[in-house]
Amino acid sequence: MATVQICEAEKVYIMHGVRDDLRIDGRACDDYRHMEVETDVVSNTDGSARVKMGDTDILVGIKAEMGRPRPLIPDEGYLEFFVDCSANATPEFEGRGGEELGSEISSTLYKMFQNRSSLDLRALCIVPREHCWVLYVDVLLLQCDGNLLDATSIAVKAALFSTRIPKVHVSEDDEGGKELEISDDPYDCMRLQVEDVPCIVTLSKIGHRHVVDATLQEAACSMASLIIAVTHKGNVTCVRKVGGGSLDPESIFEMTETGKRVGKALHAPLMKLLQEEEVLGKRRQKVGFLG
Amino acid sequence: MSLLKLCVPGDRLCGAEDCIPGTGTYLRHGYIFASLAGYVLRKNEGEELPIISVVKETEAQLLPDVGAIVTCKVTSINPRFAKVHVLYVGSTPLKDNFRGTIRKEDVRATEKDKVEMYKSFRPGDIVLAKVISLGDVQSNYLLTTAENELGVVVAHNEAGIQMIPISWCEMQCPHTHVKEFRKVAPVQSEYLQA
Amino acid sequence: MPVDTRRVRAPEESQCPLLFVPLLPRGPLRTVAQPEKARVDGRQRSQVDVRPVFARCGLVTQAKGSAYMEAGKTKVLCAVYGPRESERKDDTDMKAGRLVCDFRYAPFSCPKRGTWIQGSEERDAAQALQEALRPGLCLHRYPRAQVEVNVLVLEHDGSVLAHAVTCASMALVDAGVEMYDLVLGCALRQDGDSYLLDPTLAEESGGHATQPEDNQGGVTVALLPSLGQVSGLHADGELRDESVSAAVRACMEGCHRLYPVVRRALVYAARRKAAPPGDSLET
Amino acid sequence: MHNARNAMEVESSSTCALREFGCEQSLLSRPDGSSSFIQGDTSVLAGVYGPADVKVSKEIHDRATLEVLIQPKVGMSGVRERAQEQCVRETCEAALLSSLHPRSSLSLVLQIIHDDGSLLSCCLNAACMALMDAGLPMGCLFCGVTCAIDRDGRIVTDPTMQQEKESRALMTFAIDSTERKVLMSTTKGSFSVNELQQCIAVSQRASEKIFQFYRDSVRRRYSKTL
Amino acid sequence: MAAGFKTAEPLEYHRSFLKENCRPDGRELGEFRATTLNIGSISTADGSALVKIGNTTVICGIKAELATPPTDAPNKGYIVPNVDLPPLCSSRFRPGPPGEQAQAASQFIADLIDSANIIQREDLCIESGKLSWVLYCDIMCLDYDGNLLDACVIALLAALENAQLPEVTINKETELAEVNPQKLHPLNVTKHPVGSSFAVFDNTIVIVDPTAEEESLSTATITVVTDEDERLCALHKPGGSGLSAEKLQDCISRAVTRHREVRKLIEEVLKSIKPQQ
Amino acid sequence: MAGLELLSDQGYRLDGRKPSELRKVQARMGIFTRADGSAYIEQGNTKALAVVYGPHEVRGSRSKTLHDRAVINCQYSMATFSTAERKRRPHGDRKSSEMSLHLKQTFEAAILTQLYPRSQIDIYVKILQSDGGNYSACVNAATLAVIDAGIPIRDYVCACSAGFVEDTPLVDLCHAEETGSGTAVALALLPRGGQIALLQMDARLHQDHLDPVMEAAMTACRSLGQVLDGVVRQHLQEVSILTGE
């Protein structure tokens, strides 16, 4: 994460605050910052979403393109992640600076979607072994104030929800070759089931307690943090300890417990908000960056 | 000397109150733990608490730190400083060499401003120097030869023959008797008998 | 794949013969890990049953410290260089040293031939290795210097990252780098309600059953044994959260089972490297 | 500049015919020394830059750092060119008195114009002439001779591409001008020990002619300017 | 003070030993370091061998894959050797693409396979024009202490003799290859070349099997590869100080005796693992 | 002109605009708190984001520092999903480095760099959605961001693209017009002083057609200037209410 330098005194101040369950912006230890989620922000894409969590601002665009399925899994489409840490977030990311963090986030996303239950990829297959849909998920990091993984996972889930993939009619022409024609009617499209898509909860250990959704200052005084991807059923799909410090086992079990509770509590309101936006459809007043 | 037992990093050696942690150990939660794999050594230096340390063969010193006497080879000279490769810290050879710099004003203690670098060192000389600082982010170790027993130990003249020191600022080639200027380290007593 | 001009040219496209083995009936490759069935190599399920380990320090003479480790058929070699001057001048940290890890599979180490160019999986493993080792090292003793850990997998037969962590920490001790504690790694494969400790490659990748049962996944834990701290944790696949905690406890138990073997290897290496200081110390 | 062309016949038991040699020096303006060497249809252009300043990482404190770059006629330089670069570099390092220019860098670039057999020896000859043209201090000159042993055991010196393809074995030697010793040798194919000794003898005789050719072309070059 | 002399003036230090016809590690000028060989230790490779010459350790793993034969030689398979010097084996190698020494070694091994024709490339062809084997011979140095080429040649030869390829049949109607992993055939190795390397000190003294330090101080290195009927397969001298024909002859004769020793070693080890397979 | 009819005979363009009419411009300043200055602009379907950092100490090689004025460092990049055809890399290709150079030259003319010697000002622009007129959207967004960052600037820098179809100059081209019409002129203007900061044209245009196109582009830039001015004043008003003047 882009780091910010803070002096020892501030670290002690934050630590004491966390010990009494009071953080610098007044939140409790397991509270998220104010979050805004909006879909269909960019028009050139098949699905897009923007998440603004405090000062962390992430925009995800999904474009579906035709491709060949992977030789080992011939009857499924697949996802390709690309994380662009643009220089907008901090001057450090200019040129090749942001690539290291970008590849770290994209490898976590690949791991999260590696197991077969989070997203049903078989629907993306058009003709086994020959044609399938490839979803290019491009994450654009506009502003970075800590907790990038949570915001990214929520934005990816919202974008997948809003993705409209045009239906493909496969017709056999005379000498056995396959004829593909994509319907251009904007309403005749396929939607993805995103209930099982997990969301990431990052728990940072500060002193003897752990906090959710740590800002850059709080991340600077946390020695180690635990990343847990939680589905709405409460299952854990990807766990990673990140950071230079070590954790004692008890706090790992506590953090997994909190992570599961907070993660489960995250899915319901998110799905409700996405449903509402869906119902409004065209009448919804697009806010975007102008709001 | 207690029974010599071998320890591995992370072994708890003793309580904090009955020993003072020496090299190769660290203090945590009131206990002394080993941080190296080697032989445990308790040496009582007169006062009440013995010093406990872990010794791992001879090569204890891994990094040149401030104040250490280092042996280095001069690689390049320019009017403001001389660049060297550090070969030895004390008597232990370093497996991979560290780069150091001897600035013009650190060559000699006397008449600092009248020092001429090419009259003090030449590339290829073996020099005894002392580390004065670890240097900042860009530069590397800062060394000095300003004390008496520091300076050039081995030098070859243009023809490549090893020269013999004849004064604190001159060395002479045994065959051609050509004199060349160097900031010479006086020969230590124990090597004199050769 | 862009043509690699720095190596002898190979045909553009070559397939691994395993792809052409006439496929068994499309059923799941479950011969390996049937729920109640004992494991192929006779070890018990849901028990702390680690494969026999062979460990030796000091095999790479050129390195400051090195270690070689075999667990079953998994073979890992690690060499440590440094502390030495760090080339990358820009972010040298004035107060503490830097740990640089490089993780690499030998092309012949996996059933399907790997390429020479480092893949993203190897970079992830190097990152995980670095985060697991860092808590164990006293890096503040080596200001402005850099410790390089190079791990090479000679044969991949399951739980490679776990054994790489243990092998790397043995190499660091052999190199005389000061450490708070050893770092031991242990892996586990959760399969339904039972787990397989220290899984082989077949057990690790087996079980991609057609019907996605829940609670399928792999967990790797890196532990500081005497301080009792977990320095690295990796889990993927879909697991119930209480089985994650159970898996972490089982892995910690596995690490403690491994501890005496590693300790014996290190003590043997230390004794072989130098005679007891009793006689060599002058005063 | 001039262009010396003369066919050479080496009279000896085995056919020691060398193809028509051609050499031209300082034909390029930018490099400090340059030469183009033509053996039959094989022709190589060489340029020498230096002694110039050197990157700190490559600096050697008591001698010059020599870098050789071979650009093939078409395509990118691969592993074969890199192995040839090593041979040419270490041969030049043996001949050059690089301790007279410590902590400096010399770079030799060989551009292959056309390859019709005995490419490595043509590179060596071009390199030697370019180093001479650059006025670098050299302990001795060196020349490259390629020998091919064809199907029925005859030794052919300076073979063309066609002869190389049909040959059972192929050897390239670098011979120095003072003691006619073997500086460099790379071989392809298998051959017996006495075939090797014969080839070395033939190459040493052929190197006489080549060094004579060097003297002629340099004399012809300076005869005009004096 | 001796340790100081060794790092301060390494060349003088070595010359003082060479004057008495011995070397810092106690060997004669013509004496090879202890050579040990371990075959078939990597089960995921089709053939593997690990060679230790003194401290220099090299491991060779062979993986066979299928590909369409080259258009210009439809009845021939491929052999793709590659030597890799990872940063693990010595502090002088940096991570990243292979350096010059690694590429020169790869080219040397590739030329040696062609010139000594260790394996007939025709045996690697399964169906002319359609399908053939590609033998990836990946050679990695685990500990670099000089004399890399000898160790690579022995490792490659031992791995090729240990390699077993599964049987492949072309299914007539589906035109697809079918691999039967149970039935394995060994490779038929026609020639058994063995290399020996020499280093030249101060243009005169020739020593055999140089260590890394001796290699860096020497003025030239020569590698002579001979096969069982005493024919020379390679004479590799990448430049350096001149060598007279007589000295070259001594090297060749020493190489021939070395060839017998190594042949005996490989046969012993092969016999020791043959019964179990 | 083959393909679609760019200018209907009644004089209307594809999207119903008259030749000299601009697309709908919406802009907002100060959208990011962590940046020194930021702005977002929508010109029709083209959406651009600009962020300004500085003036701060020169990062990277010391050699770039200018002793008498600030160094302007620009980076233009396009989101990989911004165009219909997905772009493999956001920046680093030839086109975006060329755009970065144009931005740098434009703003070196506009910003009073001599007030901040030996320092560096970073301007990063990101195209979120591209529908033609990328350069002009970037310049307008960057102007608002620089003003939001409180960096002294000679005058608004307004940029507009112009084309020439059936001898009537068109302003503020959309993507279809940019690729269809062949001629595309990009003009960056400092409206009050009438100085041209940057003029770029790549295509063939008859010499005497150049003046009408330039004229149309200049008037379009002036009207754009007024729109930007409106946005700035409205932003100032909002900020002053918040701070309670």
Residues of E with CB under 8 A from a CB of D: 100-101, 103-104, 106-108, 110-111, 114-116, 219-220, 227, 230-245, 248-249, 252
What contacts D92, CB < 8 A, 6 or more positions away? D66, D68, D108, D127, D131, E239
pLDDT higher than 70, residue C36: no
> What are the beta bridge partners of residue B189?
none
**Contact across the interface for A115 and C233, Cβ inside 8 Å:** no
Q: What is the pLDDT of residue D94?
A: 92
Q: Position of tokens 């400092």? A: F190
Closest partner CB to E91 (pick from B88, B96, B154): B96
Which chains reach chain D with 3 or more Cβ–Cβ distances below 8 angstroms?
B, C, E
Range of the domain at F75: 25-243
Which amino acid does the sequence have at B70?
V
**Closest-CA distance of chain E to residue C113, Å:** 7
CA–CA dist E157, D23 (Å, integer): 44
Residue-level pLDDT at B189: 55
User: Given E104, E111, E242, which is nearest D176 (Cβ)?
Assistant: E242
Is F11 inside any structural domain? no
Residue B172 tokens read as 């002479």
Cβ–Cβ under 8 Å, residues C235 and C244: yes
Of D64, D63, D70, the C-alpha closest to D86 is D70
Length of chain E: 277
Q: Out of 2.40.50.140, 3.90.550.10, 3.40.50.720, 1.10.10.10, which CATH number does the structure's domain B69-191 have? A: 2.40.50.140
Q: What value does the mean pLDDT take over residues B9-17?
A: 87
Say if pTM beats, i.e. exceeds, 0.90: no
CA F146, CA F112: separation in Å to the nearest integer?
11
3-state secondary structure (DSSP) of residue C165 = helix
Put simply, the answer to whether F28 touches A91 (Cβ < 8 Å) is no
E163 to chain C, minimum CA–CA distance in Å? 13
Chain C residues closer than 8 Å to D78 by CB: 5-6, 9
Instruction: Please check whether residue F16 lies inside any domain of the structure.
Output: no
Rounded Cα–Cα distance for residues B13 and B2 (Å): 13
What pLDDT does B57 receive? 66
Q: E255 pLDDT band (50/70/90 cuts)?
A: very high
pLDDT band per the 50, 70, 90 thresholds, residue D15: low
Q: Could you tell me which chains touch chain C, where touching means 3 or more CB pairs under 8 A? A: A, B, D, E
Query: Is the CB of E164 inside 8 Å of chain C's CB atoms?
Result: no
Lowest-confidence region among B186-190, C16-20, D3-7:
D3-7
Helix pair D119-133, D193-225: axis angle to 10 deg: 40
Q: What is the pLDDT of residues D166-197, one digit of tens each?
A: 999 999 999 999 999 999 999 999 899 999 99
Q: Alpha-carbon distance F86 to F79, whole Å?
A: 9
Residue of C138, C144, C166 to mutate, testing the B interface (most B Cβ within 10 Å of its Cβ): C144
Residue F5 lies in a domain: no
Which chains have 3+ CB pairs within 8 A of E?
B, C, D
Contact C108 E62 (CB under 8 A): yes
Nearest residue, CB atoms, C236 vs list A71, A115, A234: A115
Cis peptide before B9 (omega within 30 of 0): no
CA-nearest of D31, D226, D12, D203 to D125 is: D203
Backbone angles phi, psi at B138, to 5 degrees: -75, -55
Closest chain D residue to the Cα of E200, Cα to Cα: D183
CATH assignment at residue F65: 3.30.230.70
Encode pLDDT of E58-115 as tens digits. Answer: 999 999 998 888 888 888 889 999 999 999 999 889 888 898 999 999 999 999 998 8
How high does pLDDT run on average in chain A? 86
CA-CA distance, B8 to C266, in Å (whole number)? 7
Which residue does chain C place closest to B2, by CA atoms?
A: C278
Residue-wise over C114-136: b if at least 16 C-beta within 10 A, else e?
Answer: bebebeeebbbbbbbbbbbbbbb
Neighbours, chain F (3 or more CB pairs < 8 A):
A
**Contact (CB<8Å) A117/C214:** yes
Would residue D2 be called left, alpha or beta, if left means φ above 0 and alpha means ψ between -120 and 50 degrees? beta
Pick out chain A residues at pLDDT < 70: 1-3, 176, 291
Taking CA atoms, F32 is separated from A56, A78, F142, F198, in Å, by 9, 34, 14, 28
What average pLDDT does the structure give for chain D? 88
Q: Which residues of D touch C5 (CB under 8 A)?
A: 76-79
- Residues in D closer than 8 angstroms to C8, CB to CB, are 79
Q: Does D203 touch chain E (CB under 8 A)?
A: no
**Residue F147 pLDDT exceeds 90:** yes
Q: How do residues E117-131 score in pLDDT, each as one tens digit?
A: 899 888 888 888 888
Residues from chain C that touch D77, judged by Cβ atoms under 8 A, are 5
In three state form, how does the secondary structure of chain E look? CHHHHHHHCHHHHHHHHHHCCCCCCCCCCCCCCCEEEEECCCCCCCEEEEEEECCEEEEEEEEEEEECCCCCCCCCCEEEEEEECCCCCCCCCCCCCCCHHHHHHHHHHHHHHHHCCCCCHHHHEEECCCEEEEEEEEEEEEECCCCHHHHHHHHHHHHHHHCEEEEEEECCCCCCEEEEEEEEEECCCCCCCEEEEEEEECCCEEEECCCHHHHHHCCEEEEEEECCCCCEEEEEECCCCCECHHHHHHHHHHHHHHHHHHHHHHHHHHHHHCCCC
Count, residues in chain D: 226
Residue B101 at interface with chain D, using a CB cutoff of 8 Å: no
The contacts found for C23-31 with CB under 8 angstroms, 24 or more apart, are: C28/C207, C28/C208, C28/C209, C28/C210, C29/C206, C29/C207, C29/C208, C30/C206, C30/C207, C30/C209
pLDDT of residue C277: 58
**Rounded Cα gap, residues F60 and F71, in angstroms:** 12
pLDDT tens by residue, C154-193: 999 989 999 999 999 999 999 888 999 999 999 998 888 8
User: F186 lies in a domain?
Assistant: yes
Mind telling me how many Å the CA of C61 is from chain E's nearest CA? 7
From residue B28, how far is each of B11, C230, F51 by CA, in Å? 12, 17, 48
Q: Can you give the pLDDT at residue F138?
A: 93
Chains B & C: contacts with CB separation below 8 Å: 97
Answer whether residue C209 shows pLDDT above 70. Answer: no
What's the mean per-residue pLDDT of chain F?
87
Distance, in Å, from the CA atom of C183 to the CA atom of E51, rounded to the nearest integer, reads 31
Each residue's pLDDT tens digit, B128-174: 898 888 777 666 788 888 888 888 888 887 777 888 888 888 888 88
Answer yes or no: same fold for B2-59 and B69-191.
yes
Residue F7 belongs to a domain:
no
CA–CA dist C121, C112 (Å, integer): 15
pLDDT at E4 over 70: no
Number of domains in chain F: 1
Residues of chain C in contact with residue A257, where contact means CB-CB under 8 angstroms, are 241
Quick check: F1 pLDDT over 60?
Answer: no
Of C13, C22, C63, the CB nearest to E178: C22
Chain B CB contacts of E1 under 8 Å are: 191
F80: pLDDT strictly greater than 70: yes
The answer on pLDDT for C283 being more than 60 is no
Q: Which residue has the tokens 């300004």?
A: F52
Q: Examine the pLDDT at C213 and tell me if it is beyond 80.
A: no
Q: Is E76 on the interface with C (CB under 8 A)?
A: no
Best of E63, E106, E108 to mutate (most C CBs within 10 Å, chain C): E63
Tokens of C50: 């680690």
What's the pLDDT at B59? Answer: 58
Q: Among B9, B36, B98, select the one facing C85 at the smallest CB separation.
A: B98
Residue of D nearest to B76 (CA): D61
Which CATH number is B2-59's, of 2.70.160.11, 3.40.50.1980, 2.30.40.10, 2.40.50.100?
A: 2.40.50.100
Cis amide linkage into residue C83, ω under 30° from 0? yes
**How far is the CA of F81 from the CAs of A80, B191, E230, in angstroms?**
13, 75, 67
In a domain, F181, yes or no: yes
Query: E91 to chain B: which residues are within 8 Å by CB?
Result: 95-96
pLDDT at B120 over 70: yes
C90–chain A nearest CA distance, Å: 13
| Any F CB within 8 A of A43 CB | yes
In the predicted model, what is the mean pLDDT of chain E?
Answer: 89
Is residue F12 in a domain? Answer: no
Q: What are the residue ranges spanned by the domains of chain B?
A: 2-59, 69-191
Comparing A252-261, D169-178, F4-13, F234-243, the range with the smallest average pLDDT is F4-13
Facing residue for C106 by CB, picked from E61, E80, E168? E61
Q: Are E103 and C4 in contact (CB under 8 A)?
A: no
Per-residue pLDDT, D187: 93
E169 in reach of chain C (CB within 8 A):
no
Does the distance separating the beta carbons of F51 and A138 come in below 8 Å? Answer: no
Beta-carbon separation of C173 and B8 below 8 A: yes
% of residues, chain E, pLDDT over 70: 97
Burial status of residue A72 (CB atoms within 10 A of its CB: 0-12, 13-18, 19 or more): exposed
Residue type present at position F155 = D
Detail the DSSP E strand segments found in A54-198.
Answer: 56-67, 78-85, 125-127, 131-143, 165-166, 168-172, 178-182, 189-190
Closest approach of chain B CAs to the CA of E110, in angstroms? 33
pLDDT at C33: 44
Residue type for position F147: I
DSSP annotation of A223: S
Residues 6+ apart with CB under 8 A from A224: A204, A205, A241, A242, A243, A244, A245, A246, A247, C135
Out of B1, B8, B24, whose CB is closest to C267? B8
**Distance separating alpha carbons of residues A212 and A190, to the nearest angstrom:** 35
With CB atoms and an 8 Å threshold, state whether D76 touches C5.
Answer: yes
Rounded average pLDDT over C25-42: 53
Of B72, B95, B154, which to mutate for an interface test with E (greatest number of E Cβ within 10 Å)? B154
Least confident piece of the model among B60-69, D7-16, D205-214: D7-16
